[in-house]
Chains A and B, each alone.
Chain A
Amino acid sequence: MTTTPINLLSEEQLAEISSGKHWSFHGGIHPQENKQQSSKAIIKDAGIPPFLVIAVEQKGESPLLLVNIGDSVLKGQALTKATDVMVVQNASSSGTVTAIEKRTDLHPSGLPVLSVVIATDGLDRSVEYSRCADYKAQTNTQLIEKIQNAGIIGLGGAGFPTHLKLAHYAAIKLLIINAVECEPYITADDRLMQEHGDEIIDGITVLQHILKPQLIVIAIEDNKPDAIAAIKRALQKKQSSQSANIIIRTIATHYPSGSEKQLIEIITGQQTPIGKHPSELGIVMHNVGTVFAIKEAIIDGKPLTSRIVTLTGEAFRKKGNVSVRIGTPIQYLLDKYEFTPTASQKLIIGGPMMGFSITHGDVPVTKTCNCIVAPTLQEMPESPPEMPCIRCGECAEVCPAQLLPQQLLWYANSKDNSKLDEYNLSSCIECGACAFVCPSHIPLVQYYRIAKAEISSAKQQAEKAEIARIRFEHRAARLQQAKLDRQVKHKQAAEKRKQQLQETNGGEDLIAAAIARAKAKKQATADPSDAPADNKKDAVAAAIARAKAKKQAAAEHSDAPADNKKDAVAAAIARAKAKKQAAAEHSDAPADNKKDAVAAAIARAKAKKQQALESTQINTEINPENSAAIAARKARKEQARLHKRQDLPAQIIDTTIAEPQTIDTTIKASDDKKTKIAAAIAKAKAKKIAQKDQ
């Protein structure tokens, strides 16, 4: 919403409006009104339900809660804190907060939203309302804040926060009070005007004080003569200099004349440009119910805790308008007003044209719930099955926004969002006139609602994608920068190190010196013809020569000592050998004993191992590859077969004991042989036993 006025109403236009001229809008329909069902009875209080469910979430945002579970609350007490756009939610009766949780909201989706559940105590004690006789002494900001704290939103149906609408009070030339109530069945505003005309005029005076418009028009459809009369009476009573510019405009009954843009067209003859807000034309519109709530909030100091709901439709035994506390479960109203469901019973919230149906009564009445219609099938027959569009164009003739519904249907079905935009789907007010006249019974509005939701979610996604792209790019840039920074840092650190090294070594580069040295060395070894290498070689050669000469000399000079030496060595070796021999001979017996003992131990161990191996092979029959084992097994088997009834275990033990001894003797033979032999022995034994038995 922008505040820059682009096309403010001129003085001439205002004069024309006040002179009584009025216009009309394109299309529109005349559905059956069915208002008589509920418009006769006076407004009754619906009473205090056992519990209240007050939804605190607004447009998906949870405000700051001011109460906790277990707190006792009074009627009119603020449950939430107001923010810029959010209004305060007030308790609508006294009691105890029993839960703060997600509860099903009065929304076509039937999704739960954060709600405060209050168990009422039936006393309906309220906070002290501070009456304000002289509101004119207060500034606009104070008054608007009061309205926000009273929790007032547009009570006509859309629920736009009133304080936001009032915030742009600068360039308002025309204030329209919407008392049209063009939807069939609904009579809440009608009854309100009949019974509370004076309060409504007071509310209008408050708005007049805030907005200071040049002209105020109260627009009422001509099907509410009693309401028109009541408002007229109230206005005459208030006749003063201020109310001089308040006029009542009776307009023809014509659906959807209560829609904001259509009513502006009726009253002023001006069309609000697409995407513009009426405030840019210097026009603001408030529902008559909202005006009543503003009066209560400003003059009586009462926050919005209840609203008037029309209970109508043939399925209600007791029809009429009731003042319902916000948060009252619909089921409570259904029970109290004797709702008798019939076959295929529908429950419609709002009017039959723009409302939505709910499937159960376990949802609370909200501030925007102006009507509950419970029609019987006779009253509101099922819509016949949908047929293809025959492009008759009747929808285009009735469309109050002058759109082409048949084209929109076509593009909505093909999900062509750009074309839908081209055909201004966003200007559709979802009034349902097109679906009402459609000879093919196409629920056009439903298709548009879906398409609108899809477009808005596509828009949201595009916005999110854009944010994601920016975040991704920023991250990539950051990482790149970090990498560069790191490189620079490393380079700087390396340079610093180099410099430090140079400084500590008196300006000499140690590494460079070392490299130079290493190079020089390499050079030196690589080139043998170098002078120092030659020197060395020569020296070596000389040394060898000297050594040879010396040796020679020694050999010649002292032959005997050298021989002696040799002999001595030989003798020493011989001695050592002899000693060894002697030692071996001397300690022959013990050493032999020891050796034998070791050998015996090894043999035993081997035997044991072998025995264990064989016995396992025999007993468990797990090694079929081993022929010995197979043989032994066979033997054993045979033996077992023969001695089934005799003392078999003893014999088996016998063989197992015997085996190691036999093996002991053959243990030094090769392993293969050993196993074969063992097998043979086993076989032989088995045979022997068998023979013995026979």
Chain B
Amino acid sequence: MLINIAIAIFTLGILGAIFGAILGYSSLRFKVKSDPIVEELDAILPQTQCGQCGYPGCKPYAQAIANGEDINKCPPGGDAVMRQLAERMGIEPKNLEGEEKPKLIAFIREDQCIGCTKCIQACPVDAIIGATRQMHTVITDECTGCALCVDPCPTDCIDMVPVVLTTQNWQWDLNLIPTKNSTER
């Protein structure tokens, strides 16, 4: 009788030790360092790093959304991004806060640039090149259109200009007003 109890306790004890070891190992081996949802949300965001959401970049906003922040604070992403965020978070889409604007990129009027480097410091993606008292210019391909460089400029020589339409980024548009006159027949 006593021996049976001892065996049972011993067996369960061994089992407990084994499972504990497995769990302990797997908790170390398969440790999730950061919340994967933040990465996913960050991937949805447009990475303009413009700060219009009130956070210093897209990743902090992704983190904030994961913590329950509103999903409608990204004007550069527009409605499409908001909907994707809503879908990912499993919540209802909301109306976008702020206006959805066409994509712009910064352009430095180079004859007015005094080379103060303030815009270079403001650029979140290092898309402006130049040096002290040397003319600065925007790397068009890298510019996200966040407009963070516009305000610091002491000579107001930075304009936000629309992206130049080329045969490469041109889109078919069926909604153009038809120029054909149907009464001509």
Measured CB to CB, the residues of A under 8 A from B are 57, 59-60, 105, 107-109, 111, 113, 343-344, 359, 377, 382, 443, 446-447, 449-450, 453-454, 457, 460-461, 464-469, 471-476
Contact = CB atoms under 8 A, between A and B. Distances in A.
A453 B144 CA distance: 21
B167 A105 contact: yes
Given A60-B166, A344-B180, A471 B171 contact: no
B172 A108 contact: yes
B125 A468 contact: yes
Contact of B49 (A443, A454, A466, A468): A468
A466 B42 CA distance: 10
Contacts of B49: 468, 472
Contacts of A105: 167
A474 B174 CA distance: 41
Most chain B CB neighbours (cut-off 10 Å) among A449, A454, A475: A475
B137 to A, nearest CB: 16
B184 A343 contact: yes
Given A449-B172, A465-B46, 16 more contacts: A60-B166, A107-B170, A111-B165, A113-B167, A447-B174, A453-B172, A454-B171, A464-B144, A465-B47, A468-B49, A469-B42, A471-B127, A472-B59, A472-B125, A475-B124, A476-B57
A475 B125 contact: yes
23 contacts: A57-B167, A109-B165, A343-B184, A344-B180, A377-B185, A446-B172, A447-B174, A449-B172, A453-B170, A453-B171, A454-B171, A461-B46, A465-B45, A465-B46, A466-B47, A467-B142, A468-B125, A471-B126, A471-B142, A472-B49, A472-B57, A472-B124, A475-B126
Contacts of A468: 47-49, 125, 142, 144
| Interface of chain B: mostly helix, strand, loop or mixed | loop
Contacts of B42: 469
A59 B141 CA distance: 16
Nearest to A473: B59
Interface residues of B, number: 32
Contacts, number: 81
Contacts of B27: none
Contacts of B45: 465
A518 to B, nearest CB: 43
Nearest to A465: B47
B167 A60 contact: yes
Contacts of A108: 172
Interface secondary structure of A, over-half rule: helix
B169 A450 contact: no
Interface of B: 42, 45-49, 57-59, 124-127, 141-142, 144, 165-174, 179-182, 184-185
A109 B142 CA distance: 25
Given A343-B184, A465-B46, A466-B47, A471 B167 contact: no
A1 to B, nearest CB: 19
A107 B48 CA distance: 31
B103 to A, nearest CB: 9
A327 to B, nearest CB: 17
Contacts of B142: 467-468, 471
B125 to A, nearest CB: 4
Contacts of B166: 60, 111, 113
A60 B168 contact: yes
Nearest to A476: B57
Nearest to A471: B125
A60 B141 CA distance: 13
A408 B181 CA distance: 31
Nearest to B182: A382
Listed from nearest, the 7 A-B pairs whose CB atoms lie closest are A60-B168, A465-B47, A109-B170, A468-B47, A471-B125, A469-B47, A343-B184
Q: Which of B49, B126, B167, B179: most chain A CB closer than 10 A?
A: B167
A60 B49 CA distance: 27
